[in-house]
DNA sequence: TTAGGGTTGG
């Protein structure tokens, strides 16, 4: 018995089918045929979508059928040339001295794949259709006939074979898409094979690209860019990432530039040209499709091997020599034993880093007050901008006068109306210094201006004028020294007048601790605060990293926020200790010192763990 | 009503 679609109702009424060479104009017939050409559904200029299918049967006559429908989904589901169709109630008419079929009232269609001997399971767009045991025979006979008499298979090839064929149908999976311009659209696809010659990369802004960027990056060498044009833009836009596609009549074009220096680097371009000639278009295939299932199997195995290669690369190629160094003469204690023991105690553990928080590593940088032991977030740029804006007002800058210990200058910024900046150059030994040795007090400057000035001057103190006095706002950095931005504790500081800086004007250099002291500021120190989850064969243990974090990473927490190289170093270290993609078996074993301590949380006693005396080193073992 | 294949563009 033929396999019918789940939930479909099947009637057994017997129909008569007319050979194509016996069809007569003006009448309605039922026909069977092999698809020898088709155009996937496309939008007509009228109200409907249309599908053009040309079929042939054992009479060796052809019938071109124009099928229209308001709804694309109700048109016969044809994927490939060579498939078998059964049409009920096709109206035959004449056009250009040729008969053609049109769908008329009561039209219905079934489509079967064309593979000899495969199950005769119909694709139908309606839930209720007729299927008689005779149909199975009809389909199989037609398949047999087509396999002997027709050479109708479209050149469906893999990406690795494109060089030999210029136009082909491509079965693939969509991994990314992006708008290019009004008449073209980019789709990024793969079929698990690798193109033999270099292929082009269509430039689009990263933000415009839809799809998993990390995945696209990882599969880069296996992904091709296909540029689709005109009428195909609309259908490409609606495609879902991850869906399986049959792109009909892709043009692989070897691009060799006329310029001599470029001619040596030819690359392959992929176009789906506009229009519907040669059946150009994109068909979305369901996951139940047998071709798709074959493709899926290939993609899964390729993906797994890529993952293995990637994690191997991270561990062994990118950072081959990173490891953790702890007290080497201490015995290793299993995590289960650590967890069962009383605090306080010190241990050396050997475990893998399963995860860490925060994943956004820059968020791990906090400000710590040693006096009141409070932790604060580092103010973000927007907060600083707002404070600076409020500290800037024209009147306070207008009446500025130099004093014996600093010399003042006022600028009018051209880009914004009535905005003035005052810079007070603090003298040392009663004389002005070179910029690289100079402390300036900045009044009315923006964040951007602070960034710029901090490249030229040794130290900057942002100030605001209150009743003629220059004062410090402790909600923003009180001192900027290059990439080091110094903050003070709002709770513990007792701010004094900037006049106090005068006492430092005989010093040799501008020392942040000294400046904080005379200004009554309790300085905050930058620390990394991370939460690590370790695992070994015996258990799982959470530990903090903060007091010993700078020693651990060999990175200054106070400079990292403004230093790309330090940020990159931190990211690389954490990628090595805890490789992404969560394959714990690929993570390195880490030696680490931890100490336990008692703490209370909401009145409840608990034991916490902190990493200490451990550092990232180049492993020369 | 619409579109109605014909050896191929960016």
pLDDT digit string, tens, across residues A516-526: 999 999 999 99
Q: Residue A166 CA to B7 C1' — how many Å? A: 12
Our measurement of CA A102 to C1' B4, in angstroms, reads: 11
- Pair (A381, A488) in one structural domain: yes
Of the three residues A458, A492, A521, the one that is the final residue of a domain is: A521
Judge if A472 and A575 occupy the same domain: no
Among A149, A181, A209, the domain boundary falls at A149
Number of domains in chain A: 4
Q: What is the pLDDT of residue A262?
A: 42
CA pair distance A571, A232, nearest whole angstrom: 42
Choose between A37 and A155: higher pLDDT. A37
Cβ atoms of A191 and A174 closer than 8 Å: no
pTM above 0.75, yes or no: no
> At A445, is the pLDDT very low, low, confident or very high (cuts 50, 70, 90)?
confident
Q: How far is the CA of A46 from the C1' of B3 (A)?
A: 10
Q: Are residues A284 and A198 in the same domain?
A: yes
Two structure tokens written together for A259: 């310029």
Same domain, A29 and A144: yes
Predicted confidence at residue A420, as pLDDT, reads 81
3-state secondary structure A326-382: CCCCCCECCHHHHHHCCCCEEEEEEEEEEEEECCCHHHHEEEECCCCCCEEECCCHH
> Do A411 and A348 reside in the same domain of the chain?
no
- Residue A304, in any domain of the structure: no
Q: Are A161 and A170 in contact (CB under 8 A)?
A: no
Return positions of chain B under 7 A from a protein CB.
Answer: 1-6, 8-10
Q: Which nucleotide is nearest to A274 (CA to C1')?
A: B9
Percent of chain A beyond pLDDT 70?
A: 89
Give pLDDT, residue A28.
96
- In which element (H, E) is residue A551 found? helix A549-553
pLDDT exceeds cutoff 70 at A501: yes
Which SS3 state, helix, strand or coil, does residue A312 take? helix
How many Å from the CA of A251 to C1' of B6? 17
What pLDDT score was predicted for residue A125?
Answer: 84
Classify A534 as helix, strand or coil.
strand
**pLDDT value of position A5:** 46
Q: Which nucleotide is nearest to A229 (CA to C1')?
A: B10
Q: pLDDT value at position A157?
A: 86
Residues with CB under 7 A from strand B: A 36-37, 39, 44-48, 50, 52, 54, 62, 64, 66, 68, 93, 95, 100, 102, 167, 183-184, 229-230, 249, 251, 253, 271, 273-278
A53 with A143, same domain: the answer is yes
Residue nearest to nucleotide B1 (CA to C1'): A46
pLDDT of residue A2: 42
Give strand letter and number of the nucleotide nearest A36 (CA to C1'): B5
One domain for residues A174 and A138: no
Same-domain pairing of A492 and A612: no
Of the pLDDT bands very low, low, confident and very high (cuts 50, 70, 90), residue A436 is confident
Token reading at A311: 């994690």
Residues A45 and A61 placed together within one structural domain of the fold: yes
Residue A195 counted as domain residue? yes
d(CA A270, C1' B8) / Å = 13
Write out the two tokens for A402.
């130099």
> Is the predicted pLDDT of residue A426 greater than 50, yes or no?
yes
If asked whether residues A141 and A270 sit together in one domain, one would say: no
pLDDT at A321: 44
The boundaries of the domain holding residue A432 are 377-521
Assess if residue A593 is contained within a domain: yes
pLDDT of residue A317: 35
Among A124, A149, A174, the domain-final residue is A149
**Arithmetic mean of pLDDT over chain A:** 87
pLDDT at A479 over 90: yes
Query: CA–C1' span, A153 to B7, in Å?
Result: 16
Q: Looking at beta carbons, which pairs linking A604-611 to residues 24 or more positions away fall under 8 Å? A: A607/A342, A607/A343, A608/A544, A609/A338, A609/A541, A609/A542, A609/A543, A609/A544, A610/A543, A610/A544, A610/A545, A610/A546, A610/A547, A610/A548, A611/A532, A611/A543, A611/A544, A611/A545, A611/A548, A611/A552
Task: Give the pLDDT confidence score for residue A126 in this predicted structure.
Answer: 83
Tell me the CATH number at A50: 2.40.50.140
**Is position A399 within any domain?**
yes
Calculate the angstrom distance between C1' of B4 and CA of A446: 68
Angle at the Cα of A357 from the Cα atoms of A355 and A361, rounded to 5 degrees: 110
pLDDT score, position A112: 96
Question: Do A389 and A514 reside in the same domain of the chain?
Answer: yes
Residue A17 to residue A32: CA distance in whole angstroms: 7
Task: Identify whether A302 is part of a domain.
Answer: no
Distance between the alpha carbon (CA) of A110 and the C1' atom of B6, Å: 27
Confidence of residue A166 (pLDDT cuts 50, 70, 90): confident
For A291-322, what is each residue's pLDDT tens digit?
999 999 999 888 878 776 655 544 433 333 45
Q: Is residue A258 very low, low, confident or very high in pLDDT (cuts 50, 70, 90)?
A: low
Same domain, A348 and A408: no
In a domain? residue A14: no
**A566 domain residue, yes or no:** yes
Stronger pLDDT, A580 or A96, i.e. the higher one: A96
* A7 within some domain: no
Contacts of A401 (CB under 8 A, 6+ apart): A408
């Amino acid at each position: 018995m033929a396999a019918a679609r789940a939930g479909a109702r099947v009637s057994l009424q017997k129909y008569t089918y007319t050979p194509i060479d016996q069809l007569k104009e003006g009448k309605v017939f039922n026909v069977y045929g092999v698809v020898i050409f088709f155009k996937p559904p496309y939008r007509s200029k009228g109200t409907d979508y249309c599908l053009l299918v040309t079929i042939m049967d054992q009479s060796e006559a052809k019938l071109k059928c124009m099928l229209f429908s308001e709804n694309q989904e109700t048109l016969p589901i044809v994927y490939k040339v060579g498939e078998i169709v059964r049409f009920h109630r096709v109206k035959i008419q004449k056009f250009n001295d040729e008969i053609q079929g049109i769908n008329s009232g009561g039209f219905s269609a079934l489509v079967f794949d064309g593979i000899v001997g495969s199950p005769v399971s119909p694709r139908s767009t309606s839930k209720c259709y007729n299927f008689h045991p005779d149909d199975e025979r009809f389909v199989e006979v037609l398949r047999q006939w087509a396999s002997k008499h027709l050479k109708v298979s479209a050149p469906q090839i893999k990406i690795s074979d494109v060089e030999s064929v210029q136009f082909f149908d491509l079965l693939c999976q969509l991994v990314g898409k992006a708008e290019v311009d009004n008449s073209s659209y980019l789709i990024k696809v793969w079929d698990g094979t690798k193109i033999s010659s270099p292929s082009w990369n269509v430039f689009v802004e990263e933000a415009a690209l839809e799809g998993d960027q990390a995945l696209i990056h990882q599969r880069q060498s296996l992904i091709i860019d296909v540029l689709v044009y005109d009428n195909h833009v609309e259908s490409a836009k609606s495609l879902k990432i991850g869906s399986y596609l049959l792109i009909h009549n892709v043009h692989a074009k070897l691009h060799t530039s006329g310029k001599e220096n470029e001619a040596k680097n030819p690359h392959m371009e992929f176009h789906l040209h506009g229009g519907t000639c040669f059946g150009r278009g994109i068909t979305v295939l369901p996951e139940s499709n047998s071709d798709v299932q074959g493709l899926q199997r290939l993609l899964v195995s390729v993906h797994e091997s890529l993952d293995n290669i990637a994690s191997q690369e991270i561990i062994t190629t990118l950072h081959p020599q990173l490891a953790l160094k702890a007290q080497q003469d201490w015995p290793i204690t299993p995590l289960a034993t650590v967890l069962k023991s009383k605090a306080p105690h010190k241990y050396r553990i050997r475990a893998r880093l399963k995860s860490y928080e925060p994943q956004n590593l820059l968020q791990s940088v906090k400000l710590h007050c040693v006096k009141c032991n409070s932790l604060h977030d580092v103010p973000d740029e927007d907060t600083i901008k707002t404070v600076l804006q409020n500290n800037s007002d024209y009147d306070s800058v207008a009446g500025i006068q130099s004093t014996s210990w600093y010399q003042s200058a006022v600028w009018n910024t051209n880009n914004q109306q009535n905005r003035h900046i005052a810079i007070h150059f603090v003298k040392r030994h009663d004389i002005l210094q070179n910029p690289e040795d100079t402390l300036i007090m900045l009044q009315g400057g923006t964040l951007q201006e602070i960034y710029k000035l901090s490249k030229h001057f040794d130290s900057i103190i942002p100030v605001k004028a209150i009743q003629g006095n220059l004062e410090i706002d402790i909600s923003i950095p009180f001192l900027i020294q290059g990439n080091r931005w110094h903050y003070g504790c709002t709770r513990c500081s007792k701010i004094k007048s900037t006049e106090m800086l005068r006492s430092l004007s005989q010093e040799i250099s501008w020392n942040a601790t000294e400046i904080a002291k005379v200004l009554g500021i309790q300085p905050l120190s930058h620390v990394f605060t991370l939460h690590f989850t370790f695992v070994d064969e015996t258990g799982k243990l959470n530990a903090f990293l903060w007091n010993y974090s700078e020693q651990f990473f060999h990175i200054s927490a106070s400079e990292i926020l403004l230093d790309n190289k330090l940020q990159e170093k931190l990211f690389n270290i954490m990628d090595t200790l805890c490789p992404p993609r969560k394959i714990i078996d690929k993570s390195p074993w880490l030696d680490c010192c931890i100490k336990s301590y008692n703490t209370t949380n909401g009145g409840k006693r608990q034991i916490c763990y902190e990493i200490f005396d451990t550092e990232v080193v180049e492993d020369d073992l």
